[in-house]
């Protein structure tokens, strides 16, 4: 490589890693394609201009990970050792591991689906870069601050340098008419149109019994959570509810803003990120639905799953 090209590669690396500019922004500045910029960033790593530190593997339990993969027929399984079971400790550990897995398996050919949530928010904090791909929200936002969920989608897209397709709407609304109107909103239609093309989806798993889910909280505010738990709901993925045996309960489908169970099942790989003592039953049931292909969880929960007859 001559000095002129070396200078350009180093400049692109500085603009991306030091200055925080996306591949699209750098491409526009230099009159290049974003794919050319991506190749230059790869070259910067190959030449040692950029050095990326990878998390040490001593935070992952290989035996439990392989055990989960074999027991549940998973494409990928990561069991993360954590310093205790405090929610924030687990969220940060799982977020870091999930970010590492995504860096490993996402490609430029992917359309990446993503949900909001506390653990996935932690994953985004460790997701400095991804191969160039677009990112679409898998549903509206269940939490109280809608902008936070939308920002997660935008930050993932910034890491990939691709386009983002957020859904700036609640995941659960009061009635079918409101849901219908929102699904036909011009911006939301753009995200919905991408659902059938998603190649990898990243989801959280919410627990309803015991309650540890922002969607549960939204349902409780609308006065329907207790009835749904009484009907057997133990958890959710996106807005798809299910019971302990993994059977889908479609009680809120008509008023949810989210990818459907059938669409999610058609995604080639759905990666669930969930952990903590309150999530055991929900994660076990989610694995029975057929919606989940890969799992990132904590080692203690992995042990509980593997202890299930």
CATH number of the domain within which 40 lies: 1.10.10.10
Co-location of 111 and 187 in the same domain: yes
Co-location of 84 and 228 in the same domain: yes
Co-location of 132 and 24 in the same domain: no
Cα distances from 295 to residues 49, 98, 220, in angstroms, run 34, 9, 28
Query: Across-strand partners of 294?
Result: 76, 271
Tens-binned pLDDT, residue by residue, of the chain (309 aa): 665 688 889 899 999 998 999 999 999 999 999 999 999 999 999 989 998 765 545 688 989 999 999 999 999 999 999 988 899 999 999 999 999 999 999 999 999 999 988 899 899 999 989 999 999 999 998 876 555 778 899 999 999 999 999 999 999 999 999 999 999 999 899 999 999 999 999 999 999 999 999 999 999 999 999 999 999 999 999 999 999 999 999 999 999 999 999 999 999 999 999 999 999 999 999 999 999 999 999 999 999 999 987
| Structural domain includes residue 51 | no
Give CA–CA dist 290/147, Å, rounded.
Answer: 31
Count CA within 13 A, CB hemisphere, residue 66. Answer: 2
Alpha-carbon dihedral of residues 144, 146, 134, 117, nearest 10 degrees?
-10
| Structural domain includes residue 11 | yes
**Domain of 259, in residue numbers:** 57-306
Co-location of 7 and 88 in the same domain: no
Co-location of 140 and 282 in the same domain: yes
Question: Residue 227's Cα: distance from chain center in Å?
Answer: 28
* Number of folded domains that form the chain: 2
| Structural domain includes residue 52 | no
Co-location of 12 and 74 in the same domain: no
pLDDT at residue 144 in the model: 66
- Answer yes or no: are the C-beta atoms of 118 and 93 closer than 8 Å: no
Co-location of 282 and 171 in the same domain: yes
| Structural domain includes residue 262 | yes
Co-location of 62 and 34 in the same domain: no
| Structural domain includes residue 140 | yes
Kindly report whether the peptide bond that precedes residue 12 is cis, defined as omega within 30 degrees of 0: no
pLDDT at residue 57 in the model: 55
Co-location of 67 and 89 in the same domain: yes
pLDDT at residue 309 in the model: 77
Co-location of 39 and 84 in the same domain: no
pLDDT at residue 239 in the model: 96
Co-location of 224 and 116 in the same domain: yes
Residue 246 maps to which CATH number?
Answer: 3.40.50.1360
| Structural domain includes residue 222 | yes
Co-location of 113 and 132 in the same domain: yes
| Structural domain includes residue 263 | yes
| Structural domain includes residue 13 | yes
| Residue 203 phi, psi (nearest 5) | -130, 155
């Amino acid at each position: 490589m001559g000095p002129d090209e070396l200078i350009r590669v180093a400049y692109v690396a500085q603009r991306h890693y030091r200055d925080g500019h996306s591949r699209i922004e750098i491409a526009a500045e230099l009159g290049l394609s974003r794919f050319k910029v991506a190749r230059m960033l790869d070259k910067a790593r190959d030449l040692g201009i950029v050095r990326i530190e990878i998390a040490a593997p001593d935070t992952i339990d290989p035996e439990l990970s392989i055990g989960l993969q074999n027991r549940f027929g998973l494409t990928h399984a990561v069991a993360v050792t954590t310093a205790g079971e405090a929610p924030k400790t687990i969220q940060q550990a799982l977020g870091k591991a999930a970010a590492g897995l995504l860096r490993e398996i996402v490609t430029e050919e992917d359309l990446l689906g993503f949900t909001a949530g506390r653990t996935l928010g932690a994953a985004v904090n460790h997701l400095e870069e991804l191969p160039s791909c677009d990112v679409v929200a898998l549903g509206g936002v269940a939490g109280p601050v809608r902008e936070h969920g939308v920002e997660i989608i935008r930050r993932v897209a910034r890491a990939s340098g691709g386009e983002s397709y957020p859904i700036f709407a609640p995941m659960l609304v009061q009635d079918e008419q409101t849901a219908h109107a929102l699904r036909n909103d011009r911006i939301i239609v753009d995200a919905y149109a991408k659902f059938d093309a998603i190649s990898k989806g990243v989801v959280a798993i919410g627990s309803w019994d015991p309650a540890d889910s922002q969607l549960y909280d939204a349902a409780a505010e609308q006065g329907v959570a207790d009835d749904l738990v009484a009907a057997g709901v133990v958890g959710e993925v996106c807005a798809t509810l299910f019971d302990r045996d993994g059977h889908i309960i479609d009680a809120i489908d008509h008023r949810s803003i989210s990818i459907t169970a059938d669409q999610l099942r058609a995604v080639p790989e759905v990666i669930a990120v969930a952990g903590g003592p309150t999530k055991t039953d929900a994660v076990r049931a989610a694995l029975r639905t057929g919606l989940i292909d890969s799992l990132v969880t904590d080692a203690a929960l992995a042990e509980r799953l593997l202890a299930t007859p």
